[in-house]
Structure 1
Amino acid sequence: MEHRCKVTVLDKKLYPELQAEYCAVPDSGKCPVFNVGDTFLFYRNDERDDYWHAGEGTLIKAGTPDEGCLQSPGTAHCGEKGVPFCTEAWDAISRYIYTALQGGSIMHGWTKDDRVMIACCNDGTRPVIFKIERIDVDE
């Protein structure tokens, strides 16, 4: 059986008081590289292995961008063709993506469905909330 992994951006948070106190750009706002509603689909088979390319080219549906997000040089919408995931997000969720692609239980006993995990990136002032789902594909 082949397994795929679907990642959906559920929400983005902002803690302006923490940005004001700690960030070099105190009004940087919400994350500019993911949009609520973004959907990514990861494959791992003989033809395609998205895991080892850090999500490059996995974006299948783009959400609506926030207004007023500051873009830094080199910032692009993650998962587009040629653009891998943000490294902080990848560091936080890649283990769940890998587990799903291998057909494993993402979070047995923690979530109602062990094929689903809710996780967030490591940015403490503007975290992005992800839903990670294992998809079982009968061939």
Structure 2
Amino acid sequence: MKKIKITVIRKACYKDLTEQYENPIEHACDMREGQVFIADGWQKPEGLCDSAWQTLSPFVMTLAHGGTNIYDGWMKNPASAMISCNDGFRPVSFLVETLEK
């Protein structure tokens, strides 16, 4: 099974949506742009958000088992995917890529 690199590429925050729809919370996301995680199979990397892992894990498993071209030519590197977590207020975009060819 191949190791998979998960890189935090971008964090967004939609203040208009949080003000309109979200109950106030003190802390929502620990991810930092440039942060890197290494996935070894089905194990969630330490420090990666549980919600993000739920979104990323099917793509991680596909790539870890040698799958490529997930969306039929969508990515320049066929052994990668750009995936965002499912937080509609503060989405985080992750680059998921195979480390081993």
Partner residue, 1:99: 62
Partner residue, 1:21: 20
Partner residue, 1:55: 45
Q: Does 1 or 2 have the higher relative contact order (CA < 8 Å, sep 6+)?
A: 2
Q: In structure 1, what is the Cα distance between the partners aligned to 2:29 and 2:21?
A: 18
RMSD over aligned CA atoms reads 1.9
Q: Which runs of 5+ in 2 are unaligned?
A: none
Q: In structure 2, what is the Cα distance between the partners aligned to 1:118 and 1:25?
A: 29
Identity of aligned residues (%): 30
User: Who wins on radius of gyration, i.e. which is larger?
Assistant: 1
What is the deviation of 1:136? 1.7
TM-score scaled to structure 2, two decimals? 0.86
Q: What do residues 82-120 of structure 1 show as CA deviations (whole Å, max 9, x unaligned)?
A: xxx322211211111111111111524211221111110
Following superposition, which runs of at least 4 residues in structure 1 exceed 3 angstroms of deviation? none
Conserved in 2, the CA contact under 8 Å of 1:88 and 1:121? yes
TM-score scaled to structure 1, two decimals? 0.64
Q: Which runs of 5+ in 1 are unaligned?
A: 45-50, 57-78, 80-84
